Amino acid sequence: MIRLEAGDWRAELEPRLGGAVLSLTFRGRPILRPTPEGADDPLQTACFPLVPYANRIRRGRFRFDGQARAVGATPGFEPHALHGVGWRTAWTAEQVDAHAAVLTLRHDAGADWPWAFDAEQRLVLSDDGLSIVLSLTNRDDRAAPAGVGLHPYFHRPPDARLTLAAPRVWLTDDLIPRALAPADALFDWSGGPSVADAPFVDNAFDGWTGEARLASSNGGAVIAAPGVDRVHVYAPQGADFVCIEPVTHRPDALNAPDGEPSGLVVLQPGQSLSLSMRIGAPPEPRA
């Protein structure tokens, strides 16, 4: 386990558990949901990387470059594939000091993803909070589809309110997008509603400003993902967390109709894709 410290901030990382963040606190207050002691499932952690794609691939099947591909279902999420391979793989710590760490992953082409790639997370803790830059480089000798994202579980007090401006939401069947609709067709976060008032949400929002704020009586968090206009919100009813996930593409983008701007990109050999996220604390009110 790796521990980072900077000012009032503390973070713990575990490269071997999907390159995950285990905890993030500010003045002893949890910003991200803490990982239980002895956890061995990345879904129990505070944050993990999504690479080389985010969210679901319908039935683990798609076509690319004229060929049918199958990556198989993710155990526990059948019949779909979920979140890529990075979160289920041990990462390597390359550089570590008191404030920062670089975690890397080298993936060889296989049944779970047919293209070779390198991935890297640069995590820096400062007086302003935690910054994560996730990058993916196509190491294959063929063009490859690609997408990245981050999956933070924010601590959610009972009175938490989420402000997130995104005008459109993907409505789903079996958690697979079926139609793009105005945000209020599901739940509009732009006015800062109570998370407790939301229905079950596990949906991608489109046209995001790249900023979000989680507020509560004991503080909250601010989230920024510059240049990212898609975010996935996972807000189970009654949970002690809410996920605000910056992503480069919508779920099941590999099966999007031709011509749809799904956000999925095609990387030529040697090309890279990256995404950054900053997590901070809201400014304290003036006395």
Taking only the tens place, the pLDDT of each residue in 217-253 is 988 999 999 999 999 999 999 999 999 999 999 999 9
pLDDT at 42 over 50: yes
Q: What pLDDT is recorded for position 287?
A: 43
CA 38 to chain centre: 23
pLDDT at 97 over 50: yes
Q: What pLDDT is recorded for position 284?
A: 66
pLDDT at 286 over 80: no
Give the percent of the chain with pLDDT over 70. 99
d(CA 92, CA 166): 35
Give the percent of the chain with pLDDT over 90. 94
d(CA 230, CA 250): 7
Question: 2-280 — its CATH code?
Answer: 2.70.98.10
Q: What pLDDT is recorded for position 251?
A: 97
Overall average pLDDT of the 144-166 stretch = 97
Q: Mean pLDDT for the chain?
A: 95
